[in-house]
Every structure is written in structure tokens, then in C-alpha cells.
Amino acid sequence: MRITDLMIERTMVLDMQATTKEGAIDELIASLERNGRINDPKLFKEMILKREAQSSTGIGDGIAMPHAKTKAVNEATVVFGRSKQGIDYQALDGQPSYLFFMIAAPEGAADVHLQTLAALSRLLIDHDFVEQVKQAESAAEVGKLFDDKQAEHDADEAKEEAQHPVQAQSDSSSEKFVVAVTACPTGIAHTYMAEDALKKKAKEMGVAIRVETNGSEGAKHVLTKDEIERAAGVIVAADKKVEMARFDGKKVLQTPVSDGIRKPEELINKALNGQAPVFHAEGGAAEEEAEGTKTSVWGKIYKDLMNGISHMLPFVVGGGILLAVSFLFERLGKDNTIFQMLSAIAGGDTGAFHFLIAILAGYIAMSIGDRPALMPGVVGGFLAASSNAGFLGGLAAGFLAGWVIILLKNIFKGLPRTLDGLKPILLYPVFGLLITGSLMYYIFDPIFKFINTGLIGALNHLGTGNAVLLGVVLGGMMAVDMGGPVNKAAYTFAIGVFTSSGNSNGLMMAAVMAGGMVPPLAIALATSLFKNKFTEDERKAGITNYVLGLSFITEGAIPFAASDPLRVIGSSVIGAAIAGGLTQLWGINIPAPHGGIFVVLLGNHAILFLVSIIVGTIISGLILGLWKKPVDAKK
């Protein structure tokens, strides 16, 4: 695919007038609308902002790549924009952005926007080329620069592929040969920027290198067994899991993908000089930690926990909402076939909600002990759920199963290599399940059943004052980091209570849902009432926050919090805490773990729930509006 097939000259904005991130987005969207490339600019912008809420698409080095895939797009397009003075786009390196590539992909366009991102990223790693684009005097010149650069890049890549078998032989006696893997979880551009940075620097250093990319299109340029064996060292510049077992016994330098872009020479030198730990696939970890790559204990625990929660959430949202809908049909009688169907697929002993704790435990275990830990983790979580050990028991099962497998890997490390094939299909499943299951059955399930029963009993018998205090805390936590660890901790606690026997009515869920809806709604209200306190771009974004807030998408408030954290977060926490406390004062329950305004009617006091949110929103909105300085007075 040629970039210029999508980068239409008439859509280019060579002298952007915007001075803010929001303004830049609006200016590029306006070009799309003028040229008939989109049919719903409001929806398209909403999707662009939703992507920005995950992480900034300002990838650094003066470049930003906002992108969205939506039905609002008529035809796949890349809008090129250039700002001569630079715009604070909240880029990952904290520097202004000068070149903008807004990628608009139609809903049925497969992964065209990701493929375009990948192709752009490969070209923009060349700083000389970027400077040429900055200096181009016309849209036609920009197009020619990209056509020429892509032709050059494609020719180099074809040459490399053609020479690869020959190169593999010629490098067989050379010590200056390294292999690398690059991968990133969401910012796909970094996968290919790291690849090109490593290859370019290796060429300058006279070092042969092969780089495998684990990008949106799957693994490309996959390393061969021969290449891995011949390499002096291995560089894994990745922010997500990659296949590591093939590097057993090699010195492997594991580092963030950003280091592959910013420190390619340092990484290559370390790989050549053996400054990396020896990786042992069966041990579950390297023998030693390379300097600067050590992860804290709490950081590792948080990563493992988030792996479990992220895999559990689809079961929570899908199963929980359908389970809540089933309650509406239950009023027609439990013999109602729709109620029975929804209960079967969403709750009860067979539906999605029945698997929450097992999935949570299984993927926590897998994060620790890799694939062999998945099965004992799932079974341990199922045992916890079945014995009423609840959410806490599931957490224990996940961490237990993961570390049991780590222990077994170390125990079986000394077995003859001829038995390696038996480990994953016999030894790990049998002993992992036996040890994890036995410990859960005899020790952890009884302990956590006692704790869980006591906790649920205490929550069921909370006095009004204590219940309100808990609601205040949970509601406030939802607004502290708006989707971050504190927010997730509050939501996870509510899910734990929600799934526990005897307290599935959603009291705590009402508190966290109200607390999570207030920040975006309060910002929307403030931008409507205090227009002189916000820029035109902020007022437009405020309208979008009405929709996001009503949908229980707290992340809509993130761009505002990033630009003015003290006032936005401070006011949001106050209103969210009040809303959470009111839900408990009035005994409100929401029997669904997500959905916002769309599941309000499923609660026992729909009107009071709305009043809680409105009160919290008004208080937060007024505090924010009165606290902020007028636009003209901002420094």
C-alpha cells in the first residue's frame, strides 16, 4: 500500500492555525468533512478522543498520529497537517508536535488504519526525511517526498529479504550479529519505529541484525532457530508478551519498546558485549536482572492482577448486563422463557457470570507462570467460587497456581532433556493441579470462605453512617485517576461484593457507578455554564463528555485532568464522593456492573440514583467552574 493512495493532496493542511491539541484535531477533522471523506464529524471526533484517552498518539519527535476506525468515515484517508510553531499535543516525550497524520478508516476496512500507521512509522523514523517534510513548500512536494521515500524503503526491504539466506551463511563466523524482537500493546507505531531505529544504528555500527516485529498484522520477519543460535545476544524491546521459550540459554536483554527507539546503540552494544541475563525458559525468569530492568515486587503483583482483571472484564460487562436485563423479565414470572434463556447464558450455574472468578484466577496465574499455570489457576478459581471463598479466594488461587508452576519449573529443571516433552503435557498439569487444588481445598478455601462470609455479613449489616462513609470512599476513588489503579481498585472491590453470595444486589456497584459518571458530566456542565473559563475547543469536547458520562466512561475527563489536574481532579473527587455517599444513604442498588444511564431502570430506586448523580455533578461542576481562571487570565 502506498501512503499517498490515502494521503490526498487536497485534504492537506500545510499551515495549521490551531494552538491546542483539541484545536488541531478539529482543524484536521474539518478538512475531512470539507472533502467529503467523513459523514459524521461529531462521531468521528468522539472516536478520536476515545483513542486519545487510552494514550496520546503524539508519538514524540514532533509527530502525532491520531486515528479512528468508525462508520463515520466514507473512505479511508490520511490527513496530513503541519504546524510551523508547534502544538502541545501531550506527546509521549513532552515536546511540541509539528507534523500530524490523522488516519480515518471506515468501519469495514479491516486493519487499514493499523497498516497505515505501520507504514508511516517506518518512514518517519528517518530524521532527515522528517526535516524535508517540514520544509516542503506544497502539497504536491509532500506527496512526492512520501512516494520517493516509500519506494526507497520498499526496495531496501526487498533487497534485505532476497539477501537473507546468503547473509545467514556469510554471518556464520561473525561475532557482530544480534537478533531483536520489537512489540508494543497499543501504540503500534512504536513497534516499527524501534525496528527501524535498531536496523539503522546497526548498519552505522557495522553490525548485522535481524529484527522480528510483533505488530498489528502479526509477527513479521520471524527469527529462525539458526539465527537465534548464532546471535551474540538477543534484544527484546517489547511492552507486551512475546514468545520467549525459543531464547532458552541465550543472553536476553529485555527492555521497553521505547528504548529500542531512543537507545538503539546502547542496546546493540550491550547485546554484543554479553551485558544481559541468561534466559531460562523452564525457570520462569532470568538467572539475573540486567541493570535498570528490575521490576518492583508491587509492580509485578499489579501487572499480574491487571492481567486477570482485563481478561475478566468482558465476562463482567457482557454477563452482568444481560443478567440484569433478565431481572426485568423475571417480573413476568420465572417460567418466562426469555428470563430462563438470559439466566442460562449470563448467570446461574452455567452463564458468563459463573466464570468470573475462574477466569480472574487463571489469567493471574498465567501472567506469573506462563501457559502451564492457566489450567490450575482456572480450577483453583472455580474451587474458590464453588466453596464461597469468593473474589478473595480467586485472587489467592491465581497467585498460588502461578507460583506453584514456577516452583515446579525449578524442580524439574534438572530432569534429562529427553523428558522436556513430558513437562507441559504431563508433569505441570498433574502436579500443578494436584498441589494447587489440595492447598485450595484444605487451607485457602476455608480461610477465605470465613473472611468472605464475614465481610459480606458486615456489609449487609452496615449502619447507615458506615455505609455512607464506604460509599463516599468508593465514589471518590473512582475520580482520583479516572481509569487508573485507584479507580480500578474501587471497581474491583465492588465487583467482588457483586459476585458474592448474599450481596448480589449491587449496593457497592451503585456507589462506584455514580462516582465514575460524575467527572465527565461535571466537566460537561462546567463548560456549558462557565464558557469564559474554557477555550472553544474545550467547550466542544465538553459536549462529548455528556455522552461519555452518561455511559459510565470516566476516561472522557482525562484530557481535562491532564491540562489542569489540581482543579479538575479536586472538584471531581468531591462530587463523586458525594454521589457515592448518597447512593448508600438511600440504599440504592444497581444489579449490573456497567452501563451507566442505560441500566438505571434495573435498580430499586432509579429516580434517587439519578438524583445522586445530578447532585454530585452540580457540586463538582460549580466548584470547577468557580475555581478555574478565565481563559484570558491563564498563564
Contact 118, 59 (CB under 8 A): no
67 annotated active-site: yes
Q: What is the C-alpha to C-alpha distance for residues 592 and 53, in angstroms, rounded to an integer?
A: 24
Backbone φ and ψ for 254, nearest 5 degrees, come out as -100, 130
Q: List Cβ neighbours of 368 (8 Å cut-off, separation of 6 or more).
A: 284, 304, 398, 399, 401, 402, 403, 405, 406
- Cβ contact 400:444 at 8 Å: yes
The C-alpha atoms of residue 270 and residue 386 are separated, in whole angstroms, by 50
Single out the residue of 219, 239, 217, 12 nearest to residue 116, CA to CA.
217
Is 605 assigned a catalytic role? Answer: no
Strands 285-286 and 279-280: antiparallel
Environment class of 44 (CB within 10 Å of its CB; exposed 0-12, middle 13-18, buried 19+): buried
Q: Which long-range contacts (CB under 8 A, 24 or more apart) does 455-461 make?
A: 455/392, 455/500, 456/390, 456/497, 456/500, 456/501, 456/502, 456/503, 459/497, 459/503, 459/507, 459/508, 460/502, 460/503
SS3 224: coil
Per the CB < 8 A criterion, the answer to whether 306 and 240 are in contact is no
Q: Which of 67, 113, 280, 354 is catalytic?
A: 67
Distances (CA, A) of 414 to 99, 419, 427: 56, 10, 13
Catalytic site residue from 184, 190, 280, 354: 184
| d(C-alpha 400, C-alpha 448), whole Å | 13
> At a CB cut-off of 8 Å and minimum separation 6, what does 513 contact?
552, 590, 594, 596
* CA separation for the pair 318, 346 (Å, rounded): 8
Q: Is 417 exposed, middle or buried (0-12, 13-18, 19+ CB in 10 A)?
A: exposed
How wide is the angle at C-alpha 612 spanned by C-alphas 607 and 615, nearest 5°?
A: 120
User: What residues have CB less than 8 Å from 407, skipping those under 6 apart?
Assistant: none
Per the document, the length of the chain is 635
Query: What are the residues whose beta carbons fall under 8 Å from the beta carbon of 186, sequence distance 6 or more?
Result: 54, 55
Residues paired with residue 82 on neighbouring β-strands, in sequence order: 99
Alpha carbon separation from 23 to 27, 378, 536, 556 (Å, rounded): 6, 48, 8, 17
- Residue type, position 389, single letter: A
DSSP, residue by residue, 281-338: GGGTEESSPPTT-PPPHHHHHHHHHHHHHHHHHHIIIIIHHHHHHHHHHHTT-TT-HH
Q: Is 518 in contact with 479 (CB distance < 8 Å)?
A: yes
Tell me the catalytic residues. Answer: 67, 184
